[in-house]
Structure 1
Amino acid sequence: MTTIVRGGTVVNADRSFRADVLCHEGKIVAVGENLDTPAHAQVIDAGGQYVMPGGIDPHTHMQLPFMGTVTADDFFTGTAAGLAGGTTTIMDFVIPNPQQSLLEAYHTWRGWAKKAAGDYTFHVAVTWWNETVHADMGTLVREHGVNSFKHFMAYKNAIMADDELLIKSFARALELGAIPTVHAENGELVFQLQQELLKKGITGPVAHPLSRPPAVEAEAANRAIAIANVMNTPVYIVHVSCAESLEAITRARAKGQRVYGEALAGHLVIDDSVYRSNDLEFAAAHVMSPPFRGKHHQAALWQGLQGGNLQTTATDHCTFCAEQKATGYDDFTKIPNGCGGVEDRMAIVWNAGVNTGKLTPSEFVRVTSANAAQIFNMYPRKGVVAVGADADLVVWDPEGTRTISAKTQFAKGGFNVFEGRTVRGIPTHTLAAGKLVFQRGELRAVEGAGRHVDRPAFSPFIGAAMQRA
């Protein structure tokens, strides 16, 4: 199939320029002004609009079994919603149970993902350790295109990684040319604070942020960064939500340490007042970890994106319906953690970032696509409008508006944390592998059309153990 996107302004992470974009058989084959239109080509008029690389959401959880239930969005509905919002690739998480083979879990997730409408790739969590895990990590890198491993420093008595596991897994990742990623919260502190709050009779959603204050996130971020420094490995901190964690990242980067940070769209615009609502359903719907923070933390996160100490934006898309959340109204520790956002991230970041002058359009491309592609070794297949790249494109109307609502969203779960916000700057067309999958409100997602994206290992990092893996 041949498609030409005509008359727009191409925006990449390094520059913007007027050009047509010609796509054929899933790839971009020409970028330039006044390109000839091949016979029978589909023509998309991008006049007055931007043409940008499709968004990459580096943090989603589709069809995730978690806290005794399963998320509302599966790989089809979740990726389809992403396409409607201009996100063409998701990075999801394989999360093995303790003592479960990493390979077994990986193949389970690959099976679930066969129905995806957009492209997908996986981080694999390391939730326990022995020689089998050591071997599985090697197989995943060499044979299955995995180059990142996730570590949860939270969720005691479930999937929490202690320091021994972090050290062994970080060292193994370094040998293999893979990058460790970290959910930074001190799980022991969270557990103890949860128990104290319950004993005091503070049992509703209002207790959730009280059990996970910024200090518990900052401690874990500092610890993960210190371990990575000693092990001489890079590290990627997911969903940085507070100024204190950002400060830890900034200090390390200033000293030359290779540390990357991710901000969630929700953390950039939503504050912790949501938990103090008298509406239990509303408050519980916002329960995620780390929780939403006070407004000064939002300002810090924007500064992190502007200054380059936070490189990516994500959603941690993990949807649960009201009935699922209701199981924890009387015990906040039982509320399934997670919120949506894969459909709205691009518009939220544009509206709150570009429209306010915090980000330029090229910086927007960096934090929504290009940086994730580069950090996780998908560039230049992803993250750029250039000859040879995948034909994943979003045609963006900077003056178009949309009021976000659960009633009109494509994502499941029946709730939207951005409910009622009117955003200026929206996608009019989304192309995935050169196929038009979204056009002016009409979703044309096809179940199973998404492809797994293999991510090659990095060259051995400086200081890597020179031993046979």
Structure 2
Amino acid sequence: MTRTLITGGLVVTASDELHVDVLVEGGRVVALATPGSHGWTADRVLDATGKYVLPGGVDAHTHMEMPFGGTYAADTFETGTRAAAWGGTTTIVDFAIQSIGGSLQEGLDAWHGKADGRCAIDYAFHMILSDVNRSTLKEMDRLVAEGVTSFKLFMAYPGVFYSDDGRILRAMQQASGNGGLIMMHAENGIAIDVLVEQALAEGRTDPRHHGDVRKVALEAEATHRAVQLARVAGSPLYVVHVSADEAVAEIASARHKGLPVFGETCPQYLFLSTDNLAEPDFEGAKYVCSTPLRPREHQEVLWRGLRNDELQVVSTDHCPFCFSGQKEMGRGDFSKIPNGMPGVENRMDLLHQAVVEGRISRRRWIDIACASPARMFGLYPKKGTVAPGADADIVIYDPAAEQTISAATHHMNVDYSAYEGKRVTGRVETVLSRGVPVIEGGEYVGHPGHGTYLPRGTCQYL
């Protein structure tokens, strides 16, 4: 059994910053100790002097190979998890999709068919509920018992994923009894479709109008409605990809009342804006996602929400579509642009840049990127920390290295970078997944199938 010693680094977790050595054996962390206080021997010694030793990132919102608008997300589970590893993420939670008229189990089986034996890092699944009915409500109980403990519903996309308030309430009531966590895409899709129709009729077809029609008020209204439905049902609620100040206020208000309501935002809302959507020559299509990018003034509200725990998690909503051949499907009609952006490889570095700029602390960086998503979705302390008994998902991170984000050097299977040319300080040097090197010396040394499926516990904030 291989023993690995990581020595000389600063171990950063959500709760501590400690100059300690880390001993890994059997795929787990077995001990931490002050340098010089132990006589450990190891088969492999990793010198982390001057570096951070971090828990591997947990990205709780990805969409590998997701069908959308007549095409598929460009990253497979193989390419997407490899890119995640390059960026210091060692666990993803992706979304299995129930087809309308189909069972939850059929959707889950289909996603296992895509992922099993192909992932470079560990993975788990949420379940998208597209068709809430008596049968699927019963299935929710069984899935929770088997480790699929979170269920996503949509207030947007009528005719595709949309659920009305009655179906949402029934799903929330079921979750209140079985321990599941309801995740909500909170936008008023019925009203948005009216505004889309009107914009196109008026000749407003460019990508920037995608943001115009998906109004802040319609995200806030849906967030408020989701909170009230969860309150009636006695259910916890996790609002995904929060993008706007008024939606943050709705979540904060609920939390101040003591309700079990949680919020997630994404790097695109923290670093990009409607300025990107308005880029000329159809370049704005690269930034079409839902919820949409907002004016820059919303960014500080999101950062403040992360600092004061009104928002708990930063995930990527990684759902990449190539500009050529995919995003271009919406030339002349923004409503046909596939919704989604790449980012699974960039999240840890972008959030470290926020540390460098003083927006968040080092420990808060690890909290929102590693520990909180692990706790939220029943994976902690197996994932999300560096502590005895935890999986040895460990990143040695150089906080002084500088890099420029670019499609020319990233590893995601997409032909552009949403952060092209952005200079950041900090870079992943080495990544261990359950003690096994995946990234080492600037090279990918992992392989498809190393990643294992993770049945999850229930939300650990309840």
Matches within 5 A, 1:364-403: 364-403=365-404
Q: Which of these residues, 108, 115, 133, is aligned with residue 110 of structure 2?
A: 108
- Partners of 1:132 and 1:443 lie apart in 2 by 44
Who is 2:331 aligned against?
Answer: 329
TM-score normalised per structure 2: 0.97
Residues 375, 461 of structure 2: 8 Å contact kept: no
Q: Which moved more, 1:361-370 or 1:450-459?
A: 450-459
Distance in 1, Cα, partners of 2:200 & 2:361: 46
Matches within 5 A, 1:139-150: 139-143=142-146, 145-150=147-152
**C-alpha contact 2:13 2:386 (8 A) present in aligned 1:** yes
Q: Where does 1:109-188 land on structure 2 (aligned, <5 Å)?
A: 109-114=111-116, 115-143=118-146, 145-188=147-190
What is the Cα deviation at residue 454 of structure 1?
1.1
Amino acid paired to 1:212 = R
- 8 Å Cα contact 1:176/1:460 also seen in 2: no
Aligned to 2:259: 257
Tell me the distance in 2 between the aligned counterparts of 1:294 and 1:46. 40
What's the offset of the Cα at 1:177? 0.6
Note the 1:34-113 alignment, pairs <5 A.
34=35, 35-39=38-42, 41-113=43-115
The equivalent of 2:447 in structure 1 is 446
8 Å CA contact retained: 2:305, 2:311: yes
How many pairs were matched up?
A: 457
Matched, 1:361 2:365: no
Q: Residue type of the partner of 1:451? A: T
State the Cα deviation string for residues 428-451 of structure 1 (Å, max 9, x = none). 111111011112421122101101
C-alpha offsets along residues 90-135 of structure 1, whole Å, 9 cap, x if unaligned? 1111122211111001011011111011111111011112222012
DSSP 3-state at the match of 1:29: strand
Counterparts of 1:208-357 in structure 2, within 5 Å, are 208-280=210-282, 282-322=283-323, 323-351=325-353, 353-357=354-358
Residue 73 of structure 2 aligns with an amino acid whose one-letter code is: T
SS at match of 1:228: helix
For structure 2, the residue ranges without an aligned partner over 5 or more in a row are none
CA distance, structure 1, for counterparts of residue 297 and residue 85 of structure 2: 32
CA contact (8 A) 1:90 1:120 kept: yes
TM-score (ref. length: structure 1): 0.95
Moved over 6 A (4+): none
Q: CA deviation at 1:291?
A: 1.0
CA offsets 1:291-332 (integer angstroms, 9 cap, x no match): 111111111100000111000101100011121111111111
Aligned position for 1:464: none
Q: Which residue of 2 aligns with 1:466?
A: none
1:416 and 1:459 map into 2 onto residues whose CA distance is 34
Question: Distance between the aligned counterparts of 2:40 and 2:45, measured in 1?
Answer: 8
Instruction: Give the Å deviation of 1:458.
Output: 5.6
Asked if 1 retains the 8 angstrom alpha-carbon contact of 2:156 and 2:162, the reply is yes
User: Which sections of structure 1, spanning at least 5 residues, go unmatched?
Assistant: 462-469
The amino acid of 2:382's aligned partner reads R
- Assess if the C-alpha contact under 8 Å between 1:9 and 1:19 holds in 2: yes
Q: What is the Cα deviation at residue 37 of structure 1?
A: 4.0
SS at match of 2:8: strand
Confirm or deny: 8 A CA contact 2:51 2:397 kept in the other structure. yes
Q: Name the SS of the counterpart of 2:20 in structure 1.
A: strand
Q: Does 1:457 align with 2:426?
A: no
Give the whole-Å Cα distance in 1 for the aligned partners of 2:460 and 2:51: 39
User: For 1:154, what is the secondary structure of its paired residue?
Assistant: coil
Determine the C-alpha separation between the residues in 2 that align with 1:179 and 1:10.
Answer: 31
- Identity across matched positions, percent: 40
3-state SS, counterpart of residue 373 of structure 1: helix
Partner of 2:326, secondary structure, is helix
**Which amino acid in structure 2 is aligned with residue 123 of structure 1?**
H
- 2:202 corresponds to: 200
1:288 maps to a residue whose letter is: C
Deviations 1:377-434 (A, max 9, x none): 1111111100000000111111111100001101011111011001101211111110
Q: By how many angstroms is 1:27 displaced?
A: 0.7
Q: Secondary structure at the match of 2:300?
A: helix
How big is the shift at 1:457?
3.5
Structure 1 residue identity aligned to 2:88? G
Matched residue type, 1:364: W
- Cα distance in structure 2, aligned partners of 1:448 and 1:219: 43
